[in-house]
Structure 1
Amino acid sequence: MNQENEEDKYTVLLPTYEERENLPLVIWLLVQHFEESGYNYEVIIIDDNSPDGTLDVAKQLQKIYGEEKIVLRPRPAKLGLGTAYIHGIKHATGNFIILMDADLSHHPKFIPTFIKKQQEGDYDIVTGTRYSLGGGVYGWDLHRKVISRGANFLAQILLRPSASDLTGSFLILCVRLYRKEVLEHLISLCISKGYVFQMEMIVRARENGYTLGEVPITFVDRLYGESKLGGTEIVSYAKGLLQLFSST
């Protein structure tokens, strides 16, 4: 049971789109690890009008775990990842914000490690990395691994970030913990949309002198549903990277 910083509260922003099958398990794991570690928390589910009934599942989960812990803030359409964060943070009551995906590509078991890392270094941001000792990727074929490595290498060359795994926000939604006021400031500075939005936040954080800690994580390909990565996402990433390079 955690006894430090009892006044701290952690808000998990969980954007969803067609995650009906994954959502019950990810919520169960989040609740389990928060309750075991003793941290005060809430999970805000931001569903973008999923046609598979994700919101109906979320409503049932809210009944099980309570409205204080599971907060529903749906939107009328699929409006993009960046705007989902903006929407969610308006309703967050925590002083720390955790961004993660609902597809179980990152196990919620890492969250207590993120919190401990932040407390030890008093960091403004803690981000996960697949590229340090203890990190890795499981379930990807060689083609996707090559794309990921190449995208990360290109981002490192062009953007010179302070994070080793910048393209966690391209092929996957990278798990990150932010001080709430830092995230709000970075959001106000960012011009990108979609998955490049998370990448830009790290670049803007470096420009503004915010401190960054890293935690090794393992990425596992989604259990249910199809990956949202395709040719359109790769083209959007390339365009967004070049736009980000020209503006920083």
Structure 2
Amino acid sequence: MAPADKYSVILPTYNERKNLPIITWLLAETFTKSKLDWELVIVDDASPDGTQEVAAELVELYGADRILLKPRSGKLGLGTAYVHGLQFVTGNFVIIMDADFSHHPKFIPEFIELQKKGDYDIVTGTRYKGNGGVYGWDLKRKLISRGANFLATVVLQPGVSDLTGSFRLYRKEVLAKIISVTKSKGYVFQMEMMARAKSLGFTVGEVPITFVDRLYGDSKLGGDEIVSYAKGVYGLWTSI
């Protein structure tokens, strides 16, 4: 008899002291209600706001078998945060998501259901299919996101509708393989992961999600990221 599936959430954090207790509680509630085995790996990049102190309290509250705090010495980037977190996961499936509450854990059971139904290697949340959507963004931000996805879809043809999203479920070994060949940093990283998945022949399912702008703290998207994104799309087009 095959062992039951276990779901490991890798949560990169930087200045998420206010959001971390909320997202942890919601994750615990979601997994417990669904009777699923789970753990949360918090990868904090030396947040100066006390995020690690809050995380340490959560370890005490939920137990070291559920919450793992694996900090790093500085702000080293999203891609390397996943590489770091992956070293410590014990589940056979890995969920990546944002800590700022823009990704609601209530969608995780839908990800898992679709994965089982289609035996997918990856399930990704999409804001741009079915009843998915974005809340809390102004028109400019929506246009940038739509434009970024349109540009990447036309150039790379990855077969998914939301390339820049970062709410996904992976088989552990699939995530490890994709990360090992992904070269981008910053916001291009998520897009390259999907382009690499297609080139490697992995199967991807999509679940419509509602994306809500962060509850506390500042958005990390700026003009420099938009320029680097456009360069990243071109770089991937010439290399994949």
TM-score between both structures, scaled by the size of structure 2? 0.98
Counterpart of 1:14 in structure 2 is 11
Counterpart of 1:61 in structure 2 is 58
Counterpart of 2:41 in structure 1 is 44
Tell me if the contact between 1:155 and 1:167 (Cα under 8 Å) persists in the aligned partners. Answer: no
Tell me if the contact between 2:132 and 2:208 (Cα under 8 Å) persists in the aligned partners. Answer: yes
Within the candidate set 53, 57, 70, 2:67 is matched to 70
Within the candidate set 69, 72, 76, 1:79 is matched to 76
1:161 match: secondary structure: coil
> What letter matches 2:216 in structure 1?
Y
Whole-Å separation in 1 of the counterparts to 2:136 and 2:198: 32
Counterpart of 2:111 in structure 1 is 114
Whole-Å separation in 1 of the counterparts to 2:131 and 2:3: 29
1:212-227 aligned within 5 A: 212-227=204-219
> What letter matches 1:18 in structure 2?
N
> What letter matches 1:177 in structure 2?
L
Whole-Å separation in 2 of the counterparts to 1:49 and 1:235: 27
Q: CA deviation at 1:223?
A: 0.7
Whole-Å separation in 2 of the counterparts to 1:176 and 1:151: 19
The percentage of aligned residue pairs carrying the same residue is 65
Tell me if the contact between 1:127 and 1:177 (Cα under 8 Å) persists in the aligned partners. Answer: yes
Number of equivalenced pairs: 240
1:166-181 aligned within 5 A: 166-168=163-165, 174-181=166-173
Structure 2 runs not aligned, ≥5 long: none
> What letter matches 2:169 in structure 1?
L
Whole-Å separation in 2 of the counterparts to 1:193 and 1:140: 24
User: Quick check: 1:139 aligned with 2:136?
Assistant: yes
The list of structure 1 runs, each at least 4 consecutive aligned residues, that deviate by more than 6 angstroms after superposition, is none
Counterpart of 2:22 in structure 1 is 25
Counterpart of 1:240 in structure 2 is 232
Whole-Å separation in 2 of the counterparts to 1:200 and 1:215: 19
1:194 match: secondary structure: coil
Counterpart of 1:171 in structure 2 is none
Structure 1 runs not aligned, ≥5 long: 169-173
Tell me if the contact between 1:13 and 1:44 (Cα under 8 Å) persists in the aligned partners. Answer: yes
> What letter matches 2:190 in structure 1?
Q
Whole-Å separation in 2 of the counterparts to 1:231 and 1:53: 28
> What letter matches 1:28 in structure 2?
W
Within the candidate set 220, 223, 233, 1:231 is matched to 223
Tell me if the contact between 2:186 and 2:225 (Cα under 8 Å) persists in the aligned partners. Answer: no
> What letter matches 2:25 in structure 1?
W
Q: CA deviation at 1:195?
A: 2.1
Whole-Å separation in 2 of the counterparts to 1:233 and 1:164: 21
User: Quick check: 1:205 aligned with 2:197?
Assistant: yes
2:125 match: secondary structure: strand
Counterpart of 2:161 in structure 1 is 164
Aligned-pair Cα RMSD in Å: 1.2
Q: CA deviation at 1:6?
A: 5.7
Counterpart of 2:88 in structure 1 is 91
